[in-house]
Structure 1
Amino acid sequence: MNEFNLNDFVRGWFVGGFDPSIIKTTEVEVAVQSFEKGAFEAEHCHKVATEITVIVEGAAKMFGKVYTAGSIIEIKPGEYTSFEALEDTKTVVVKYPGALNDKYLKDCDK
Protein backbone atom coordinates (compact mmCIF):
# COMPACT_ATOMS: atom_id res chain seq x y z
CA MET A 1 0.00 0.00 0.00
CA ASN A 2 1.08 3.56 -0.75
CA GLU A 3 -0.40 6.76 0.63
CA PHE A 4 -0.38 10.17 -1.00
CA ASN A 5 -1.76 13.64 -0.41
CA LEU A 6 -3.40 15.68 -3.13
CA ASN A 7 -1.44 18.74 -2.00
CA ASP A 8 1.77 17.02 -3.16
CA PHE A 9 0.70 17.14 -6.81
CA VAL A 10 0.78 20.07 -9.24
CA ARG A 11 -2.68 21.70 -9.49
CA GLY A 12 -4.31 18.43 -8.41
CA TRP A 13 -3.04 16.32 -11.35
CA PHE A 14 -2.15 12.92 -9.87
CA VAL A 15 -2.33 10.58 -12.91
CA GLY A 16 -0.56 11.36 -16.19
CA GLY A 17 2.75 11.78 -17.94
CA PHE A 18 4.20 14.33 -15.56
CA ASP A 19 6.06 14.48 -12.24
CA PRO A 20 4.97 13.84 -9.66
CA SER A 21 2.38 11.27 -10.68
CA ILE A 22 1.00 8.17 -8.98
CA ILE A 23 0.49 6.46 -12.33
CA LYS A 24 2.87 7.78 -15.00
CA THR A 25 1.09 7.30 -18.32
CA THR A 26 0.35 9.19 -21.51
CA GLU A 27 -2.99 7.43 -21.98
CA VAL A 28 -4.96 9.52 -19.51
CA GLU A 29 -4.64 12.40 -17.02
CA VAL A 30 -6.73 12.77 -13.86
CA ALA A 31 -7.01 15.67 -11.41
CA VAL A 32 -9.03 16.80 -8.44
CA GLN A 33 -8.95 20.58 -8.34
CA SER A 34 -10.25 23.26 -5.98
CA PHE A 35 -10.89 26.83 -7.12
CA GLU A 36 -11.72 29.83 -4.98
CA LYS A 37 -14.62 32.01 -6.07
CA GLY A 38 -13.42 34.29 -8.87
CA ALA A 39 -10.66 31.97 -10.14
CA PHE A 40 -10.43 32.23 -13.92
CA GLU A 41 -8.70 30.30 -16.68
CA ALA A 42 -8.44 31.99 -20.08
CA GLU A 43 -10.27 30.60 -23.10
CA HIS A 44 -8.30 27.67 -24.49
CA CYS A 45 -8.66 24.36 -26.30
CA HIS A 46 -6.86 21.07 -26.62
CA LYS A 47 -6.04 19.90 -30.14
CA VAL A 48 -5.45 16.24 -29.19
CA ALA A 49 -7.18 15.49 -25.89
CA THR A 50 -10.82 15.26 -24.92
CA GLU A 51 -11.42 16.73 -21.47
CA ILE A 52 -14.21 15.73 -19.12
CA THR A 53 -14.89 18.08 -16.20
CA VAL A 54 -17.16 17.07 -13.33
CA ILE A 55 -18.39 19.82 -11.02
CA VAL A 56 -18.28 18.11 -7.62
CA GLU A 57 -19.05 21.16 -5.49
CA GLY A 58 -19.85 24.77 -6.27
CA ALA A 59 -20.62 26.43 -9.58
CA ALA A 60 -18.57 27.37 -12.62
CA LYS A 61 -19.12 29.08 -15.93
CA MET A 62 -17.90 27.35 -19.11
CA PHE A 63 -19.05 27.88 -22.70
CA GLY A 64 -21.04 30.88 -21.40
CA LYS A 65 -23.23 28.56 -19.31
CA VAL A 66 -23.42 28.00 -15.55
CA TYR A 67 -22.75 24.45 -14.32
CA THR A 68 -23.39 23.27 -10.77
CA ALA A 69 -22.62 20.21 -8.64
CA GLY A 70 -23.32 17.03 -10.60
CA SER A 71 -22.75 18.60 -14.03
CA ILE A 72 -20.42 16.73 -16.39
CA ILE A 73 -19.01 18.64 -19.36
CA GLU A 74 -17.24 16.82 -22.21
CA ILE A 75 -14.96 19.11 -24.20
CA LYS A 76 -13.87 17.74 -27.56
CA PRO A 77 -10.57 18.65 -29.26
CA GLY A 78 -10.76 22.08 -30.86
CA GLU A 79 -13.60 23.36 -28.66
CA TYR A 80 -12.61 26.56 -26.86
CA THR A 81 -13.85 27.49 -23.40
CA SER A 82 -12.78 29.51 -20.43
CA PHE A 83 -13.42 28.53 -16.80
CA GLU A 84 -14.69 30.84 -14.07
CA ALA A 85 -15.45 29.69 -10.53
CA LEU A 86 -18.66 31.49 -9.55
CA GLU A 87 -18.26 30.25 -5.99
CA ASP A 88 -15.71 28.02 -4.25
CA THR A 89 -15.68 25.02 -6.62
CA LYS A 90 -14.22 21.52 -6.67
CA THR A 91 -13.81 19.56 -9.91
CA VAL A 92 -12.62 16.19 -11.11
CA VAL A 93 -11.00 16.38 -14.55
CA VAL A 94 -10.13 13.52 -16.90
CA LYS A 95 -8.17 14.14 -20.10
CA TYR A 96 -7.61 11.46 -22.70
CA PRO A 97 -5.27 10.77 -24.19
CA GLY A 98 -2.78 12.33 -21.82
CA ALA A 99 -1.21 14.88 -24.13
CA LEU A 100 1.41 17.13 -22.57
CA ASN A 101 1.73 20.64 -24.05
CA ASP A 102 -1.75 20.39 -25.61
CA LYS A 103 -3.23 23.64 -24.27
CA TYR A 104 -3.79 26.45 -26.79
CA LEU A 105 -4.97 29.88 -25.75
CA LYS A 106 -7.57 31.30 -28.16
CA ASP A 107 -5.57 34.39 -29.12
CA CYS A 108 -2.13 32.76 -29.10
CA ASP A 109 -2.36 29.69 -31.36
CA LYS A 110 -1.90 31.31 -34.76
Structure 2
Amino acid sequence: MVKGWFVGDFEPSLYHTGDVEVAVKHYQAGDAEEWHYHKVATELTVVVSGEVEMAGKRFREGDIVVIEPGEGTAFRAITDAVNVVVKLPGASNDKYLQEDSHA
Protein backbone atom coordinates (compact mmCIF):
# COMPACT_ATOMS: atom_id res chain seq x y z
CA MET A 1 0.00 0.00 0.00
CA VAL A 2 1.14 3.55 -0.64
CA LYS A 3 1.63 5.73 2.47
CA GLY A 4 -0.72 3.45 4.42
CA TRP A 5 -3.79 3.97 2.20
CA PHE A 6 -5.60 0.66 1.73
CA VAL A 7 -9.27 1.46 0.93
CA GLY A 8 -10.29 3.84 -1.86
CA ASP A 9 -10.40 4.51 -5.57
CA PHE A 10 -6.67 4.06 -6.20
CA GLU A 11 -4.07 1.37 -6.88
CA PRO A 12 -3.04 -0.59 -4.99
CA SER A 13 -6.14 -0.97 -2.82
CA LEU A 14 -7.59 -3.83 -0.81
CA TYR A 15 -11.11 -2.54 -1.45
CA HIS A 16 -11.94 -0.27 -4.39
CA THR A 17 -14.58 2.37 -3.71
CA GLY A 18 -15.13 6.06 -4.32
CA ASP A 19 -17.23 6.32 -1.17
CA VAL A 20 -14.39 6.48 1.34
CA GLU A 21 -10.60 6.34 1.72
CA VAL A 22 -8.92 4.71 4.71
CA ALA A 23 -5.27 4.59 5.82
CA VAL A 24 -3.17 3.47 8.75
CA LYS A 25 -0.23 5.86 8.76
CA HIS A 26 3.02 5.33 10.67
CA TYR A 27 5.23 8.33 11.42
CA GLN A 28 8.61 8.89 13.01
CA ALA A 29 9.12 11.90 15.26
CA GLY A 30 9.70 14.93 13.05
CA ASP A 31 7.84 13.60 9.99
CA ALA A 32 5.65 16.27 8.44
CA GLU A 33 3.09 16.77 5.70
CA GLU A 34 2.54 20.14 4.09
CA TRP A 35 -0.53 22.30 4.61
CA HIS A 36 -3.50 21.21 2.51
CA TYR A 37 -7.27 21.25 2.41
CA HIS A 38 -10.09 19.42 0.67
CA LYS A 39 -12.99 21.12 -1.11
CA VAL A 40 -15.28 18.07 -0.98
CA ALA A 41 -14.05 15.57 1.60
CA THR A 42 -14.13 15.56 5.39
CA GLU A 43 -10.93 14.12 6.88
CA LEU A 44 -11.16 12.21 10.17
CA THR A 45 -7.93 11.37 12.00
CA VAL A 46 -7.71 9.09 15.03
CA VAL A 47 -4.42 9.25 16.90
CA VAL A 48 -3.76 5.60 17.77
CA SER A 49 -0.41 6.25 19.45
CA GLY A 50 2.03 9.09 19.93
CA GLU A 51 1.60 12.85 19.74
CA VAL A 52 0.96 14.92 16.61
CA GLU A 53 0.26 18.51 15.64
CA MET A 54 -2.59 19.38 13.28
CA ALA A 55 -4.33 22.70 12.66
CA GLY A 56 -1.90 24.34 15.09
CA LYS A 57 -2.96 22.10 18.02
CA ARG A 58 -1.40 19.06 19.66
CA PHE A 59 -3.23 15.75 19.85
CA ARG A 60 -2.41 12.53 21.70
CA GLU A 61 -3.43 8.88 21.73
CA GLY A 62 -7.22 8.55 21.62
CA ASP A 63 -7.86 12.04 20.23
CA ILE A 64 -9.98 12.41 17.11
CA VAL A 65 -9.47 15.32 14.72
CA VAL A 66 -12.15 16.38 12.23
CA ILE A 67 -11.08 18.59 9.33
CA GLU A 68 -14.13 19.82 7.41
CA PRO A 69 -14.14 20.71 3.68
CA GLY A 70 -12.39 24.06 3.14
CA GLU A 71 -10.54 23.83 6.46
CA GLY A 72 -6.78 23.46 6.09
CA THR A 73 -4.12 21.73 8.13
CA ALA A 74 -0.48 20.82 8.12
CA PHE A 75 0.76 17.77 10.00
CA ARG A 76 3.78 17.08 12.19
CA ALA A 77 4.63 14.05 14.31
CA ILE A 78 5.91 15.28 17.67
CA THR A 79 6.80 11.68 18.67
CA ASP A 80 6.66 8.42 16.77
CA ALA A 81 2.96 8.08 15.98
CA VAL A 82 0.31 5.93 14.33
CA ASN A 83 -2.89 7.46 12.93
CA VAL A 84 -5.96 6.06 11.24
CA VAL A 85 -7.22 8.48 8.59
CA VAL A 86 -10.65 8.31 6.96
CA LYS A 87 -11.63 10.62 4.10
CA LEU A 88 -15.27 10.85 3.10
CA PRO A 89 -16.32 10.86 0.47
CA GLY A 90 -13.25 9.37 -1.22
CA ALA A 91 -13.07 12.28 -3.64
CA SER A 92 -10.22 11.81 -6.13
CA ASN A 93 -8.04 14.85 -6.86
CA ASP A 94 -9.46 16.73 -3.86
CA LYS A 95 -6.18 17.69 -2.15
CA TYR A 96 -5.15 21.33 -2.50
CA LEU A 97 -1.77 22.55 -1.27
CA GLN A 98 -0.87 26.02 0.08
CA GLU A 99 0.01 27.35 -3.41
CA ASP A 100 -3.41 26.12 -4.65
CA SER A 101 -5.32 27.93 -1.88
CA HIS A 102 -6.78 30.53 -4.20
CA ALA A 103 -7.96 27.91 -6.72
Q: Which of the two has higher C-alpha Rg? A: 1
Question: Of 31, 35, 38, which aligns to 1:43?
Answer: 35
Runs of 4+ in 1 over 3 A off after TM superposition: none
The alignment status of 1:108 with 2:100, answered yes or no, reads yes
The alignment status of 1:63 with 2:55, answered yes or no, reads yes
The alpha-carbon deviation at position 28 of structure 1 amounts to: 0.3
The alpha-carbon deviation at position 109 of structure 1 amounts to: 3.4
The residue matched to 2:3 in structure 1 has which SS? helix
Q: How many residues align?
A: 102
The residue matched to 2:85 in structure 1 has which SS? strand
* Residue in structure 2 matched with residue 79 of structure 1 by the alignment: 71
* Residue in structure 1 matched with residue 23 of structure 2 by the alignment: 31
The residue matched to 1:47 in structure 2 has which SS? coil
Higher share in strand: 2
* Residue in structure 2 matched with residue 93 of structure 1 by the alignment: 85
The alpha-carbon deviation at position 14 of structure 1 amounts to: 0.5
TM-score (norm 2): 0.95
- Could you report, residue by residue, the CA deviation over 1:9-30 in whole angstroms, capped at 9, with x for unpaired residues? 0011110000111110000000
Q: Please list every run of 5 or more consecutive structure 1 residues that lacks an aligned counterpart in the other structure.
A: 1-8
Distance (Å, rounded) in 1 between the aligned partners of 2:69 and 2:49: 25
Q: CA RMSD in A?
A: 0.8
The residue matched to 1:23 in structure 2 has which SS? coil
The alignment status of 1:14 with 2:6, answered yes or no, reads yes
TM-score (norm 1): 0.90
